[in-house]
Amino acid sequence: MSLAHDARVAVRPAAMAQRPARAWPEVNNPAAWIVVVLLLIMPLIASGFFLIEIFATTLILGIMALSLMFLAGYGGMVSLMQLTIAGFSAYMVAVFGISGNANISLGWPWWLAVPMALALATAFGTLGGALAVRTEGIYTIMITLAIGAAFYYFTNQNWAIFNGHTGINNVATPHFWGVNWRADIPFYYVVLAVAALCYFAVEYLSRAPFGLALQGVRDNPRRMAALGFNVNAHRIAAYAFASFVAALAGVLQVWNYRQISPGSVSVGACIDVLIIAVVGGITRPIGPFIGALIFVLLRTFALDFLVRLGLDGNRFRLLIGLGFLAIVFWSSDGVIGLWQRWRQSQRPRNDRQGGGRGHG
Amino acid sequence: MSRFVERHPAWALIAIIAIAIVLWLIFAVWPPGLEEAIGRKRVFLNALFNGITLGGLYFLVASGFTLIFGLMRNVNLAHGSLYLFGGYVGYAISTSTGSWILSFIVAFIMTALVGVLLQVIVFRRMEGQDLRQTMVTIGLSIVFADLMLWACGGDFYQIQTPGWLIGPVDLPLITAVKSSGEPVYLRYPLVRLVIFAASAVIGVAMWLALNRTRVGMIIRAGVDDRDILAATGVRIQLVFVAVFAFGAGLAGIAGVVGGTFQSLSPGEDIRFLLASLVVVIVGGMGSIPGAALGALIIGLAEQLGSVYIPTYAIVVTFLIMVLVLAIRPQGLLARR
């Protein structure tokens, strides 16, 4: 009756079990190569606005959601505090680095501030994870949500470190080798590189002994414990890794917006990350990025789109919520699941479109 | 109780001493040295009473949440939305009819209806899939929040307190002694006391209904093992709908209460959802006495914290949760 049971039901079609023998499935997939080339030459195609506001933002949100996907998909632990970890790391970059609030920021150079932020955020996330693994299933959701909310209210109230509800502005971005790394094109490549790194790290880890053990823990913790695996240690290690990924996203986020405030770590934003991961699909690492792209496109263009249809443009969240509901109702592994089911229904018989109620 | 004393004599002693200290703080006239150290007694008593009454409000929200969870294993993350919905309904009724009592009744019925719809349309279709139900409730809470923002706007609403409840009353608690030797009594808003009494009555009634009636027995049996209960011929779906409606209705009542002594605005739904989450985590999921204890602890921690350590009030609440998780992960009064 626990989440482990649920997650197994949801994740079954992901073919994790069949895959370990085959390494790096992307290599043989032409679509993957097209996406890679497109992403690499994106600065030639897209203008500054699209490059940063759409694609870089998508990748950053995708990395955050990726950390959730890693925990939820492979570990069976739905953590709503991934954004909080990212936000913590963003705050730490602002606090240790250089920013407009000279009385708070310590003014360290970025190559000191960033590792410090990553280390602290990872420690923070691991501690939170150590708390969360004491409970199971839906309790994990509630506890991580409570941690996220506590952090949000704390940043709102604390002026000594987090500068209250105004947050920290004008955070300095790295500038070295004669390149301003926050200029549109270099920044896009930095984000892309980090996203690719995280993506392949998750992909690799899912096939490494640790990842396989983690999936075993997800499917049947008691059996894994009987086999001599330390169940909680695996879960906490998964939290540590996911926290590091989320912390990387946080660093990129604070460089992207050059400021950080409690609004960016609000409860709604925490839930957005869950929405992104679920809409994209939590069975494989590409899902969160697809979800993030949909989310960012909706967020950016829903207003114009709704107004053009003659509706109230402010109903963007309604659209997101309804879309999320529809996905959760009809597909337990998000857009990827829909796509796969469509492909499967295409292959044997062309008349059976749309799939059935599926496995969820 | 006596078994607890036998098993943990040291803890029992500490608890008795703590209770004695609190009682002394409440009833005694504070010596000047103490007033210098931690401030006026009036401030302390006010914070204490605010904490207890806030605990009453939290109990109303959290008891419905915990009841629904206990029976259906359904974490209803749209519970905060039901709270806010009840509050808005109550506001609409009390402004249009001017009747405060009527607003409670209508809010209860309306939110209970929403609860019935949720259970029948949504949750029955995905029974036993905790995670998916939770996700659906997250989606629903987003949709509800936006619909309510659409309908009611982003303004603050406050429900008018009825005339016969306005104003403070003197409580027989001495806050200070004037230089003339005349005692000064604590004055406290009547409406908060009435609401607290009402929530205590609801809590006791719920406890009695659960432990002394046939329906309560069915519900308790369902909490323990709903499959066997269904196998004995109880129409379990009907019980589910009734419990969901009642839990949702409680959230609606709590919305009117919250709208009376605080205010209603977008964002309150999440605040109360989180409050009830923390309350049931501390008290133990699915336990009504646990919800009462948790609500009291969290309410007191919030109010006393905001008076004595204003910057870190929220952290105190959080630390309590962490402490409970570290010592008793299942919650203070949970059986399992």
* Highest mean predicted confidence (pLDDT) among A9-23, A58-72, B119-133: A58-72
Query: Tokens 């929405």 appear where?
Result: A275
B326 close contact with A: CB closer than 8 A: yes
How far off is chain A from B5, nearest CA to CA, in Å? 28
pLDDT score recorded for residue A296: 86
A231 close contact with B: CB closer than 8 A: no
Q: Do B314 and A157 touch (CB under 8 A)?
A: yes
Q: Do A139 and B281 touch (CB under 8 A)?
A: yes
Q: Which of B129, B277, B311 sits opposite A158 (nearest CB)?
A: B311
Query: Tokens 């294993």 appear where?
Result: B73
Q: Kindly identify which residue of chain B lies nearest to residue A162, measuring between CA atoms.
A: B311
pLDDT score recorded for residue B315: 76
Measured CA to CA, the distance from residue B260 to residue B254 in angstroms comes to 10
Q: Which of B134, B147, B329 sits opposite A138 (nearest CB)?
A: B134
Q: Which of A143, A159, A328 sits opposite B139 (nearest CB)?
A: A328
Instruction: Please determine, for residue B82, whether its predicted confidence score (pLDDT) is greater than 60.
Output: yes
Instruction: Please determine, for residue A16, whether its predicted confidence score (pLDDT) is greater than 60.
Output: no
Residues A83-113: tens digit of each pLDDT: 999 999 988 888 887 777 767 777 777 788 8
Classify domain A3-346 by CATH architecture: Orthogonal Bundle (1.10)
Domain limits, chain A? 3-346
- Residues in chain A within 8 Å Cβ distance of B136: 325, 328-329
Q: Do A267 and B274 touch (CB under 8 A)?
A: yes
Residues B143-181: tens digit of each pLDDT: 888 888 888 877 888 888 877 777 777 777 776 677 777
Q: Do B136 and A325 touch (CB under 8 A)?
A: yes
DSSP state string for B216-257: HHHHHHHHH-HHHHHHTT--HHHHHHHHHHHHHHHHHHHHHH
pLDDT score recorded for residue A352: 45
Mean pLDDT value of segment A13-36:
60
Instruction: Please determine, for residue B273, whether its predicted confidence score (pLDDT) is greater than 70.
Output: yes
Given a contact cutoff of 8 angstroms between Cβ atoms, the answer to whether B219 and B243 are in contact is yes
Domain limits, chain B? 42-327
pLDDT score recorded for residue A4: 40
pLDDT score recorded for residue A13: 43
Query: Tokens 């996406």 appear where?
Result: A35
Instruction: Please determine, for residue B113, whether its predicted confidence score (pLDDT) is greater than 90.
Output: yes
Supply the pTM of this predicted model: 0.80
Q: Kindly identify which residue of chain A lies nearest to residue B72, measuring between CA atoms.
A: A1
pLDDT score recorded for residue B112: 93
Which residues 129-188 in chain B show a CB within 8 A of chain A?
129-132, 134-136, 138-140, 142-143, 145-147, 150
Residues B131-140: tens digit of each pLDDT: 778 888 888 8
Phi, psi angles (nearest 5°) of residue B12: -60, -40
pLDDT score recorded for residue A240: 92
Measured CA to CA, the distance from residue A48 to residue B87 in angstroms comes to 46
Given a contact cutoff of 8 angstroms between Cβ atoms, the answer to whether B269 and B83 are in contact is yes
* Highest mean predicted confidence (pLDDT) among A123-127, A267-271, B3-7, B273-277: A123-127
Measured CA to CA, the distance from residue B173 to residue B275 in angstroms comes to 30
| Chain A interface mutation, best of B81, B131, B142, highest count of A Cβ atoms under 10 Å | B131
Instruction: Please determine, for residue B311, whether its predicted confidence score (pLDDT) is greater than 50.
Output: yes
- Residues in chain B within 8 Å Cβ distance of A3: 130-131
Instruction: Please determine, for residue A124, whether its predicted confidence score (pLDDT) is greater than 80.
Output: yes
Mean pLDDT value of segment B303-325:
80
Q: Do A325 and B139 touch (CB under 8 A)?
A: yes
